[in-house]
Amino acid sequence: MGANKRLRLSAGHASVDLYQGIVPVLVPFLVAERHYGYLGVSGFVLAASLLSSVIQPLFGVLTDRWAMPWLVPVSTLAAGLGVALVGQAESYPLALAAIALTGFGVAAYHPEAARLARAVTGGDHVGMSWFSLGGNVGFALAPVFATPVLAAGGLAATPLLLLPAVLGTLVTLPLLGRRARGTTAPRAGGRDDWPAFRMLSAVVILRSIAYIGLSSFLGLFVQQRVHAGDAAGGAALFVLFAGGAAGTVLGGRLAGRWGRIRTMRGAYGMAVLAIAGVVLVPGPALYGFVAVAGIALYVPFSLHITLGQDYLPNRVGTASGVTLGLAVSVGGVLAPALGALADATSLRAMLAALTVFPVMAWILASRLREPARLEQSS
């Protein structure tokens, strides 16, 4: 697959996941200009995150029944339009509806876009890792893009935030013909392996708990350990996110050489050691373990997608909706419990407990087997 197509897939994915990252950026501006309380603004974040993840499997089921390549540009524009309308909505219900539109667009995008990525890449590990990388980059760049716009123009400037959605739509449109020629009917002789898919979903959930737990509390922990002020926590998060981006691309290349299951097992084993290093190693040296943790927890990210699609060859959209949506975000449900554990013990003890989750992921991944590739049997 050409580099141009990889970049188009990655840029399109980035333009959508950018809006997931923009929603938290909007919160302080909504508080300052609209005087919403903490409970009110938490409703925006909850609506965007829950809607964008919970209904993704539903869109996956729909795309398994009908080819809907048009859903990619329409959902991209919907994600951007929701954020653009927030600043124009004077009442809380209208603002909440606008944020819900963004979540709806994000949810509608991923299953069909993952199908498109598979059709364009032929399920190539490296190509899919570039598609996954785009989402990570988009989320990470959201504050960099949105904060200056909102700082300069306030909520009245939110229509300017529609621009990435327009650009993302334009770069993706030339690829849509490939989706129309992609597989929409069941594979000849293909059988859905639901037990393996359920086990893979459990692996994805365990990985989500470990990563969300680490990213949620890492900044505060590093500030306490390094004693270098607020910048220390921000730097640690940057290192974690940068490691995640590198791990996403690295995962596809390693899988091409070692296979997906072997690569996943190695990554989760490394994640155990890296998280333990973050907890135990004193001083600035822990930044190295933060980087390794980010890499290790993101190496399997794109491999989860292709494995899910291969385990459910007749329901590629459903597999994509689960691995990219519900299963990935379910780890956030345990964030309050992790916070309660930190309150009851210590932040260090809670982070140490996170090593249990990649251990369990390693055990379950060891029971998985490499499925037959969709293209090999079609």
Q: What is the pLDDT of residues 128-186, one digit of tens each?
A: 888 888 888 888 888 889 989 999 999 999 999 999 999 999 999 998 875 555 444 44
What one-letter code names the amino acid at 220? L
Residue 237 and residue 144 share a domain: no
Pick the closest to residue 10 from 135, 94, 101 (CA basis): 135
Pick the closest to residue 325 from 117, 58, 65 (CA basis): 58
pTM, two decimals, is: 0.76
Contact assessment for residue 176 and residue 198, using Cβ atoms and an 8 Å cutoff: no
Pick the closest to residue 234 from 212, 213, 257, 218 (CA basis): 218
Q: What is the pLDDT of residues 269-314, one digit of tens each?
A: 999 999 999 999 988 899 999 999 999 999 999 899 899 989 998 8
Q: What is the pLDDT of residues 316-368, one digit of tens each?
A: 888 888 888 766 667 767 777 888 898 899 989 999 999 999 999 999 999 99
* Residue 201 burial (C-beta neighbours within 10 Å; 0-12, 13-18, 19+): buried
Residue 357 and residue 307 share a domain: yes
Residue 335 and residue 293 share a domain: yes
Q: Which domain holds residue 62?
A: 3-180
* Residue 372 burial (C-beta neighbours within 10 Å; 0-12, 13-18, 19+): middle
Residue 48 lies in a domain: yes
Q: Residues 184-200: what's their mean pLDDT?
A: 75
Residue 93 and residue 52 share a domain: yes
Integer Cα distance of 85 and 99 in angstroms: 8
- Number of folded domains that form the chain: 2
